Structure formats: C-alpha cells, structure tokens
C-alpha cells in the first residue's frame, strides 16, 4: 500500500502502566448531561441524550505530570472550558444495552470539551450545526487513560476544574442525567461503536471563559489530573 502523500499519524493516548498507546478512532460528545449545566444553558428537564462529534485530530494529548498547550482558537472571543469524564471504548458494538455496556469499556480519562461559545450560540440561534463551535483545532484536550480495573468507581467520583488555581467547576459524576451505560446504549443505537472511540460524557455547571495565558487544571477522582495552558 502506498499513498499519494504521507497520511496524518493516528492520534493516540497513553495508557497508565502500559507502553502500548490507545489509538483514537472517533470522539463522541454528549450534550447537556448534567442538570445544573442544562439550566445554566437555558434548558430544564431530562431530554433524550444528544451527541456531536469532534475529529480524532482535535485531541490535545497530555502526558501525566506535564502541562499541555492549547492555542487560543481563531474566530472566537468566548472560549469556554467544559471538564468531562471521558469513556474509552475497547470493544465495539451496535445496539449495546446499558446493562452490557461495561464490557465495552476499556478505561477512563479526564478531558476538556473546549467550546467557542459565541459561535455555538450563533449556530443554535440559526438552527445550524455546532461544528464550528465545538469541533475546531485542539478542542479536545485529554489526559492519560486509566484501565477500567484500576480506575475505581468513577460513577461516583468528584469532577472539578480550576482556572489559575480558582475553583470554576465542581460536581460529581453521579449527577449525570444519562449515566455511562445509558449513554452507550443510546450512542450505539445511532453509530457502530469501534475500539478506539472516546465518549466525552458531558460537563457539570460552572462553564466560563478562559483567555490566553490561563492555566486549566482539572480532574476526576481516581484519574490523573489534566493540566492545560492556553497559549
Ligand atoms: Mn461538553
């Protein structure tokens, strides 16, 4: 096999305790999956889960104990942070039942669903796709993956984010509207999940803007902290 040009390398995430890396296939994101965040976005009640996708190449992969760098993106003056628990899929499938979802999970990581909120808001108003607000370059920072067996019970873990040392987001994964199993059930009804898929499971309340020079430190209890500086 030869190509007309050198293909972009497969983006991949380190796995704690292993030399092999986790190759990213797709990045799925769940919208408005914590009640207090849905409220701050102007919505209430339990909607059916909905999804959007970021290209795998938008991942900013940050090794444990290091600070990653994300360039402040173009076209926005309202770049928001969204701390999220990321679920890494190890075994694919379609029409997976919530009760069987755990078998498909490889591990977990801490991720940021960075958002050009002004552009997303404009697209919402016009009923247009969110891509420009969500799926831009470097919009998906992620820390190392911890294998499921070693991650503890992430379903009841504290989830938090600080900007320049100040608390911005703090909640608990138990407050997800659609839990991980239910999310996988809905997602796998719409797409064929593949090994290498990442699911950004949604953000709790407290989303707000960052500017160049800010340092974001965020975590989910039991997983390595993710630190990203906005350049
Ligand atoms: Mn999000």
Let me know: does 79 contact 73? Beta carbons within 8 Å: yes
Give the pLDDT band of residue 26 (cuts 50, 70, 90).
very high
Helix, strand, coil percentages for the chain (3-state, nearest 5): 20, 35, 45
* Predicted confidence (pLDDT) per residue in 78-90, tens digit: 999 999 999 999 9
CA of 101 to the centre of ligand 1 (A): 21
CA of 24 to the centre of ligand 1 (A): 18
pLDDT at position 1 over 90: no
Cβ count within 10 A of residue 183: 23
CA of 99 to the centre of ligand 1 (A): 24
What's the rounded Cα separation, in Å, for the pair 29 and 219? 18
Please, what is the end-to-end C-alpha distance for the chain in angstroms?
A: 39
**Which one, of 177, 156, 168, lies nearest residue 35 by Cα?**
177
CA of 1 to the centre of ligand 1 (A): 38
Give the pLDDT band of residue 208 (cuts 50, 70, 90).
very high
* Predicted confidence (pLDDT) per residue in 157-183, tens digit: 999 999 999 999 999 999 999 999 999
Q: Please classify residue 140 by burial: count the beta carbons closer than 10 Å to its beta carbon, then call 0-12 exposed, 13-18 middle and 19+ buried.
A: buried
17 secondary structure, DSSP code? T
| Domain map (residue ranges) of the chain | 12-230
Considering the domain 12-230 in this protein, what is its CATH number?
A: 3.90.850.10
């Amino acid at each position: 096999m030869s190509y007309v040009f050198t293909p972009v390398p497969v983006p991949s995430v380190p796995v704690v305790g292993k030399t092999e890396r986790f190759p990213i296939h797709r990045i799925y994101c769940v919208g408005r999956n914590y009640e207090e965040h849905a409220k701050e976005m102007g919505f209430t009640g339990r909607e059916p889960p909905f999804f959007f996708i970021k290209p795998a190449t938008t991942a900013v992969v940050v090794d444990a104990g290091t600070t990653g760098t994300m360039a402040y993106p173009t076209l926005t003056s309202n770049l928001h942070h969204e701390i999220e628990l990321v679920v890494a899929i190890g075994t694919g499938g379609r029409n997976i039942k919530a009760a069987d979802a755990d078998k498909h999970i490889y591990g977990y990581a801490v991720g940021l669903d960075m958002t050009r909120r002004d552009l997303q808001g404009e697209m919402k108003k016009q009923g247009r796709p969110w891509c420009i607000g969500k799926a831009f370059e470097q919009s998906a920072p992620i820390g190392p993956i911890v294998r499921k067996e070693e991650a503890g019970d992430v379903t009841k873990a504290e989830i938090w984010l600080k900007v320049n040392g100040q608390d911005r987001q703090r909640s608990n994964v138990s407050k997800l509207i659609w839990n991980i199993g239910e999310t996988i059930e809905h997602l796998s009804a719409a797409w064929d999940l593949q090994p290498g898929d990442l699911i950004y499971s949604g953000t709790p309340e407290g989303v707000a803007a960052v500017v160049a020079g800010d340092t974001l430190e965020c975590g989910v209890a039991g997983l390595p902290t993710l630190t990203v500086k906005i350049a």
